[in-house]
Amino acid sequence: AQTVTQSQPEMSVQEAETVTLSCTYDTSESNYYLFWYKQPPSRQMILVIRQEAYKQQNATENRFSVNFQKAAKSFSLKISDSQLGDTAMYFCAFMPYTGANSKLTFGKGITLSVRP
């Protein structure tokens, strides 16, 4: 069974600064995806970024980038130039790619507060 660990329950960052959210996972699979989802106070789950394990290049989406260390099974999210709208819960998720039966396993989440 896969596990996803987010060991920091809460973090705070000053507006315009950079923050890194940590995530580790455990798996014996070789073909998988990793995700970061954002859940703002509205409760809507929003995909922030996706990384395919076979790709060595770290994924980037505007101010969001990941540091994917496959051997260490680590998948951290870096948010640059933090904005007030980044205040949310962030969930790391893992999915072995098994076609139609693919399922996500989520970490427990981290609450990020961006201070003005």
Partner 1 sequence: NAGVTQTPKFQVLKTGQSMTLQCAQDMNHNSMYWYRQDPGMGLRLIYYSASEGTTDKGEVPNGYNVSRLNKREFSLRLESAAPSQTSVYFCASATQGAGNYEQYFGPGTRLTVT
Q: How far is the CB of 84 from partner 1 (least distance, A)?
A: 22
Q: Is 52 in the site for partner 1 (CB under 8 A)?
A: yes
**Span near partner 1 by CB under 8 A; candidates 11-19, 58-66, 67-75, 101-109:** 101-109
SS3 content of the chain, % helix, strand, coil (to 5): 5, 50, 45
DSSP state of 32: E
Inter-residue long-range contacts of 99-106, CB under 8 Å, 24+ positions, other chains counted: 104/35, 105/2, 105/3, 105/4, 106/4, 106/37
68 binds partner 1 (CB under 8 A): no
Least spacing, CB of residue 95 vs partner 1, in Å: 7
Could you give phi then psi for residue 48, rounded to 5 degrees?
-95, -50
| Residue 52 or 81 with smaller CB distance to partner 1 | 52
Which residues bind to partner 1, rule: CB under 8 A?
A: 4, 9, 33, 42-45, 47, 50, 52, 91, 95, 97, 99-109
